[in-house]
Chain A
């Protein structure tokens, strides 16, 4: 049952092929077996998952037919979960137990999904390889020597590795779509404001958006149906009706105008990926879509603009981690200055510190206009480029990432790592919905097709992706388990909530 999509699982559960408890137990067994190698989960909550599954089975017996009822789910460890550790991949929040649930967590719980645990991620979502996590790197289920992408690498690896059928992620500059591309699954980022950010730990507030990691676009539609909607606790969440995402999956490719962005097929794109993506576009064309070359003239400015805006916002968002009220605190601070300096030096990893410094610099007196103000101007230009393109086309399609997954440690230069998101970042700067769907393999590793839609065209983007998946079977090609034999016996497969409860009083400095 672990190879089934959410849609298929829902059908099997409803016809009684197996129970949610059986399905959940199968996932937990799989996690126990695979997680030591993949490191996809930071925390697994077996007990509460089985209890929730039993509850779902009872509800089903009473006639409850909600589509996500009893389906196992993993949350990226950036979503606050009441009483369950929420680390954001950082030592700073290693023992943080939120007294509240994120909006997304509430909604998926209300939809009846069963929470298996919390997935690994780049620290504070800052990274494109899942190597910046305090809890160690995540491995790509297709090849454990390779990275799964980031920052939602744990969620992507968990879904690709068959540890769970669906997971949440967040996408600030490509953090759902790039790992989906690297792991051969479907990753969807909705329009900014479509899903509540309440309880989702902030990296860059004006760019962060919650989304889904699933095997298929139809699964993403099911999750989105539960997650989308206005949340009065998030002032940037949007008050507009939620479309019927699954219903729009019936959208036709015939006559669909697909924009092919020239800048996405130039420099830096590997030959294998280019070939594969052109073949995928060819599939759309064969189904009746019209391919139209478009230009996004300011796209080349998106990475530099992003690396001003995102660190600037992050530098303020991460100021609250000061050792005063919760989270990591250094040992025996001499005075206030020492408390701040050592808490933050010891509690944050290198990449987080680098971005705080960059952001602080960009906002400093005398530099603000040259950096922050200019970056905001570029942001408007990028939005305008997209608006002009969408006057001519219905969706834009191209590669998600310039290449397939790379080896751990292969990109030591931060700027090289930043260029990972060259095709995805502009979408965040413009606040648009976009999806990455599996579109081929290059040297045995998957890559994705990136489909971008105009503001709040979630249904269209999901529909086009679904149609593409009716024509292709890349999304069904799961990694072979031969890569995943468990290693290092005796090493615990994951943390349990109790680990955190017990070690809360342990001295931090020793770790």
Chain B
């Protein structure tokens, strides 16, 4: 009998504010340990929190972007537990009254269909510091640079039905926070962290007992961890066992999930409202201000590119997953006036180049204007599409401009009729048997002859002209 997988994700997104959630300390990544911790971050006696207004605006931005309710009044709470990297002995978070309420995110599935995933809530909280166990022989080090960095914890409904859907949701979330410019979403640096709640059930049955897989730090690992966990739960249930509700850690080396030690999870956090902060009141004015600043979001842009440039939904999806790529594409398309060619060049050649060189589009050696120039030369017949790829490689190496490369390498397409006539004559002479076959009615031999002519011209001859002249010359 079939099993149905039920997944809900809790995603921590690190907000890209300049300073921490409750103190003025810098949040820049990679500074020397404890160089970015002020007296509040160190939880010195008598120090008090002051909410970072920028972080609040970012949370509202996210809420508006996913069509969520924005709480007019939200409340911070203290979540109490002892750990050396938690200086105050409590984490300031939001339990009962989060800033962002119910909203939704649309994901696009491989079969081309769309699915709406509910977002239960998104709340603001401060990050903890880091415990460093490797650097010291017998002691543990504490680095409080990260302590107090603002996080937005985005909790989904259990609407996801496969590891693939979970990854699509996560990628969409990644795309949204980047479009909104509220986080770099970099999973490898912990700017985006994911906990997955996984259960299985017989279709139509009540929800099964779930396990929570903690801190999975890449899209690929999320997929693998869920796959593993689903298989594990199936095995347990099919062997007549029961699923224990527990927290598990994903081990990417062994590709398995393992239960965390009981002690690490059996916590009573004794939440209560943070008395050092007043409830956060968000008025219409702030909401409207933030709404007015909202950029175009991935779904809207996808649709616009489809309509404006006549792109396929697939192409539009690929091009809009990242705002930077979409910007690049639009710039290229407008400059060269051919969206289809631009879409192909951006999503195939350019993407290939960037992947190969491990570059982000911001660091692309070929600018959008430059790529548009190249496409123009294809369109005006100066070079063929094939030659354009050669020019592209030269451009990737940082060489000069499109026109200079064409001139220097002598890549200009031959369109001079006399020159092509000579070429055709030479081909007919050197391939007499094939020419005869064509004259005898074997039409398909023409392709071979065109190929020979192109080869002879080192790709520079205009293929359409070659084709036409060959037909004319071999006319019986």
Question: Given A312-B272, A363-B272, does the pair A100, B44 have CB atoms closer than 8 Å?
Answer: yes
User: Whole-angstrom distance between the alpha carbons of A88 and B45 in the complex?
Assistant: 10
Question: Given A320-B88, A324-B142, A325-B43, does the pair A234, B272 have CB atoms closer than 8 Å?
Answer: no
Interface residues on B, range: 20 to 34
**A residues within 8 A CB of B44?**
80, 98-100, 326
Our pick among A204, A233, A320, A324 for the contact of B45 (Cβ within 8 Å) is A320
Q: How far is the CB of B385 from chain A (nearest CB, A)?
A: 63
User: Whole-angstrom distance between the alpha carbons of A99 and B47 in the complex?
Assistant: 11
**B residues within 8 A CB of A188?**
none
Our pick among B48, B51, B89, B277 for the contact of A320 (Cβ within 8 Å) is B89
Is A487 interfacial (CB 8 A cutoff)? no
Evaluate contact between A235 and B82: CB separation under 8 angstroms.
no
Within 8 A of B (CB), among A465-483: none
Our pick among B51, B82, B272, B276 for the contact of A322 (Cβ within 8 Å) is B82
User: Whole-angstrom distance between the alpha carbons of A79 and B46 in the complex?
Assistant: 8
Is B438 interfacial (CB 8 A cutoff)? no
Q: Which of A55-63, A194-202, A438-446 contacts B (4 or more CB under 8 A)?
A: A194-202
Interface residues on A, range: 35 or more
User: Whole-angstrom distance between the alpha carbons of A102 and B45 in the complex?
Assistant: 10
Our pick among B45, B84, B87, B275 for the contact of A80 (Cβ within 8 Å) is B45
Question: Given A197-B48, A201-B46, A324-B142, does the pair A319, B80 have CB atoms closer than 8 Å?
Answer: yes
Evaluate contact between A102 and B87: CB separation under 8 angstroms.
no
**A residues within 8 A CB of B278?**
235-236
**A residues within 8 A CB of B82?**
319, 322, 340
Q: How far is the CB of B4 from chain A (nearest CB, A)?
A: 32
Q: How far is the CB of B148 from chain A (nearest CB, A)?
A: 13
Is B260 interfacial (CB 8 A cutoff)? no
Q: Which of A148-156, A283-291, A364-372, A408-416 contacts B (4 or more CB under 8 A)?
A: A364-372
Question: Given A235-B278, A236-B276, does the pair A325, B45 have CB atoms closer than 8 Å?
Answer: no
User: Whole-angstrom distance between the alpha carbons of A201 and B48 in the complex?
Assistant: 10
Evaluate contact between B87 and A201: CB separation under 8 angstroms.
no
User: Whole-angstrom distance between the alpha carbons of A321 and B49 in the complex?
Assistant: 18
Question: Given A205-B276, A319-B80, A372-B272, does the pair A80, B46 have CB atoms closer than 8 Å?
Answer: yes
User: Whole-angstrom distance between the alpha carbons of A197 and B82 in the complex?
Assistant: 25
Is B407 interfacial (CB 8 A cutoff)? no
Residue ID in chain B nearest A340 by CB atoms: B82
Greatest chain A CB density within 10 A among B45, B89, B277 is at B45
**B residues within 8 A CB of A312?**
272
Evaluate contact between A324 and B48: CB separation under 8 angstroms.
no
Is B39 interfacial (CB 8 A cutoff)? yes
User: Whole-angstrom distance between the alpha carbons of A88 and B44 in the complex?
Assistant: 13
Evaluate contact between B50 and A232: CB separation under 8 angstroms.
yes
Q: How far is the CB of A405 from chain B (nearest CB, A)?
A: 29
**B residues within 8 A CB of A363?**
80, 270-272
Is A313 interfacial (CB 8 A cutoff)? yes
**B residues within 8 A CB of A318?**
89
Q: How far is the CB of A442 from chain B (nearest CB, A)?
A: 37
Is A182 interfacial (CB 8 A cutoff)? no
Evaluate contact between B270 and A235: CB separation under 8 angstroms.
no
**A residues within 8 A CB of B47?**
100, 198-199
Q: How far is the CB of A173 from chain B (nearest CB, A)?
A: 15
What does the 1/0 interface line of B44-88 toward A look like (CB < 8 Å)? Answer: 111111110000000000000000000000000010101010011
What does the 1/0 interface line of A69-109 toward B look like (CB < 8 Å)? Answer: 00000000001100000101000010010111010000000
Residue ID in chain B nearest A99 by CB atoms: B39
Residue ID in chain A nearest B280 by CB atoms: A235
What does the 1/0 interface line of A316-335 toward B look like (CB < 8 Å)? Answer: 10111010111000000000
Evaluate contact between A199 and B46: CB separation under 8 angstroms.
yes
**A residues within 8 A CB of B272?**
312-313, 316, 363, 368, 372
Evaluate contact between A365 and B268: CB separation under 8 angstroms.
yes
Is B42 interfacial (CB 8 A cutoff)? yes
Evaluate contact between A319 and B45: CB separation under 8 angstroms.
no
Q: How far is the CB of B397 from chain A (nearest CB, A)?
A: 53
**A residues within 8 A CB of B80?**
315-316, 319, 363
Is A336 interfacial (CB 8 A cutoff)? yes
**A residues within 8 A CB of B268?**
364-365
Evaluate contact between A360 and B270: CB separation under 8 angstroms.
yes
Is A225 interfacial (CB 8 A cutoff)? no
Is A206 interfacial (CB 8 A cutoff)? yes
Is B90 interfacial (CB 8 A cutoff)? yes
**B residues within 8 A CB of A86?**
45
Evaluate contact between B48 and A198: CB separation under 8 angstroms.
yes
User: Whole-angstrom distance between the alpha carbons of A364 and B80 in the complex?
Assistant: 10
Residue ID in chain B nearest A231 by CB atoms: B48
**A residues within 8 A CB of B87?**
320, 324-325
Within 8 A of A (CB), among B82-100: 82, 84, 87-90
Evaluate contact between A205 and B39: CB separation under 8 angstroms.
no
User: Whole-angstrom distance between the alpha carbons of A363 and B277 in the complex?
Assistant: 19
User: Whole-angstrom distance between the alpha carbons of A206 and B279 in the complex?
Assistant: 13
Question: Given A206-B275, A363-B270, does the pair A319, B48 have CB atoms closer than 8 Å?
Answer: no
Within 8 A of B (CB), among A328-356: 336, 340
User: Whole-angstrom distance between the alpha carbons of A416 and B276 in the complex?
Assistant: 30
Q: How far is the CB of A125 from chain B (nearest CB, A)?
A: 12
Our pick among B43, B50, B84, B270 for the contact of A233 (Cβ within 8 Å) is B50
Our pick among A200, A235, A313, A316 for the contact of B46 (Cβ within 8 Å) is A200
What does the 1/0 interface line of B271-288 toward A look like (CB < 8 Å)? Answer: 110011110000000000
What does the 1/0 interface line of A209-247 toward B look like (CB < 8 Å)? Answer: 000000000000000000000001111100000000000
Within 8 A of A (CB), among B116-167: 142
**A residues within 8 A CB of B50?**
232-233, 235
Question: Given A316-B90, A325-B87, does the pair A202, B46 have CB atoms closer than 8 Å?
Answer: yes
User: Whole-angstrom distance between the alpha carbons of A201 and B44 in the complex?
Assistant: 9
**B residues within 8 A CB of A199?**
46-47
Q: How far is the CB of A306 from chain B (nearest CB, A)?
A: 14
Question: Given A198-B47, A336-B84, A363-B270, does the pair A235, B277 have CB atoms closer than 8 Å?
Answer: yes
Evaluate contact between A316 and B49: CB separation under 8 angstroms.
no
**A residues within 8 A CB of B277?**
235-236
Greatest chain A CB density within 10 A among B80, B82, B278 is at B82
Q: How far is the CB of B3 from chain A (nearest CB, A)?
A: 33
Our pick among B46, B49, B88, B142 for the contact of A98 (Cβ within 8 Å) is B46
Evaluate contact between B46 and A319: CB separation under 8 angstroms.
no
Evaluate contact between A100 and B45: CB separation under 8 angstroms.
no
Our pick among A88, A206, A233, A319 for the contact of B89 (Cβ within 8 Å) is A319
The 8 closest A-B pairs by CB, nearest first: A319-B89, A363-B270, A205-B275, A206-B275, A320-B43, A199-B46, A201-B45, A365-B268
- Cβ contacts A to B, 20 pairs, < 8 Å: A80-B46, A86-B45, A88-B45, A96-B45, A100-B44, A202-B45, A205-B275, A233-B48, A235-B50, A235-B51, A313-B272, A316-B88, A319-B80, A322-B82, A325-B42, A326-B42, A340-B82, A360-B270, A363-B271, A368-B272
Instruction: Using CB atoms and an 8 Å cutoff, list the residues of chain B in contact with chain A.
Output: 39, 42-51, 78, 80, 82, 84, 87-90, 142, 268, 270-272, 275-278
18 additional A-B pairs beyond A80-B44, A199-B47, A363-B80, beta carbons within 8 Å, are: A98-B45, A100-B47, A198-B47, A199-B46, A233-B50, A235-B277, A312-B272, A313-B272, A315-B270, A316-B89, A322-B82, A322-B89, A324-B87, A326-B42, A336-B84, A363-B272, A365-B270, A372-B272
